[in-house]
């Protein structure tokens, strides 16, 4: 009985923590994308939040950086594939060089012809 109560409490606490992290991540997204605040101003705001919130914000900042890197790589591969399409490479050759799948390359071909 006591274990069940403990487990239930732990699950609820963990759920609240996840919801708090989601809320904090939303705030960070707002600060970075909508508010136009300079990084120094954001750092000043960061000084006023709790250590747990700082950890969540730092984690989210790293996720944003990783997403940006991934998007940059994807855009670069798309540009390379489009250039290869223009130069007459086959789908198989493009896939071999860029590691994009054939369906993605065919989609780019259609996009290019529009």
Give the three-state DSSP class for 66. helix
> Model confidence over 79-101: pLDDT tens digits?
999 999 999 999 999 999 999 99
Residues constituting the chain: 114
pLDDT at 22: 67
Domain that residue 12 falls in: 2-113
Q: What is the pTM of this model?
A: 0.52
User: What's the rounded mean pLDDT across residues 61-89?
Assistant: 89
Q: Please give the tally of structural domains in the chain.
A: 1
pLDDT at 35: 66
HSE, CB side, 13 Å, CA atoms: give it for residue 29.
10
Average pLDDT of 66-79? Answer: 88
**Sequence-ordered list of residues with C-beta below 8 angstroms from that of 54, at least 6 positions apart, any chain:** 46
**CA-closest candidate to residue 28, choices 54, 66, 3, 2:** 54
């Amino acid at each position: 009985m006591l274990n069940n109560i403990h487990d239930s409490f732990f699950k609820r606490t963990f759920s609240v923590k996840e919801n708090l992290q989601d809320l904090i991540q939303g705030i960070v997204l707002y600060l970075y994308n909508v508010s136009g605040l300079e990084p120094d101003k954001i750092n000043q705001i960061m000084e006023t939040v709790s250590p747990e919130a700082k950890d969540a914000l730092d984690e989210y900042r790293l996720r944003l950086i990783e997403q940006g890197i991934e998007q940059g790589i994807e855009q670069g591969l798309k540009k390379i594939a489009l250039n290869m399409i223009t130069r007459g490479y086959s789908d198989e050759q493009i896939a071999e060089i860029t590691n994009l799948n054939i369906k993605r390359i065919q989609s780019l071909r259609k996009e290019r012809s529009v």
